[in-house]
Amino acid sequence: MWFLVLAAGIFFGLSQTEPVQATPLSSFSKVQQEAIQAKIDSIRSRVESKVKAVHTEKVAVKKQEVAKKQAEAKQFAEQKRAQVAAAENNNQTKQDNSSRKENAPSVGGNEAPKSSSQAPQAKSSTPNSGSSNSQTDATTSASQRGRAIGEKNREYGKKLRDPNLSGSERQKIIQEKKNYNRSHH
């Protein structure tokens, strides 16, 4: 029973007291909104700085890749030009050799060679000696081979002067040059 009396007293006692005044809901949410907005702004500024840093890094990497690709394309174009020049030089040498065979004197060596590279040497030799004419052909052929080798070595030198070459590319060119010179000497 005493429990019922206590419960009734509490019930009637509470109804008589005035409620405690709390902060109005609208002002509480405004403070909370300002705090949240400050946190959002702080986070946003940190994220923006990180994004800018990542973006700057990616741009730098992309520029390096583009520069590397351009250097490779330039080197490839130079190699292609060198190959074309070597092929043209080789074709010219073959044409010179075939024209020498066609222009060689048949018997006795009475005809003067018509090739421009042979003309100065033909004037210095006697026109009636057949053995000296074959020696002239051998000399001009050797000279042409020497010029071709020299030209190829100059091309290798140009390639090696490129400051953008990596160590492995440089070693590859040096090895190519060594192999070329071994096979053409």
**Cα–Cα dist 79/85, whole Å:** 10
User: 25-103 and 130-160 are packed helices; what angle lies between their axes, rounded to 10 degrees?
Assistant: 170
pTM: 0.30
Q: What is the pLDDT along the chain (185 residues), one digit of tens a residue?
A: 667 776 766 666 655 555 555 555 556 678 888 888 899 999 999 999 999 999 999 999 999 999 999 999 999 999 988 888 888 888 877 777 666 665 555 444 444 444 444 444 444 444 444 445 555 566 677 788 888 889 999 999 988 998 888 999 999 999 999 999 888 77
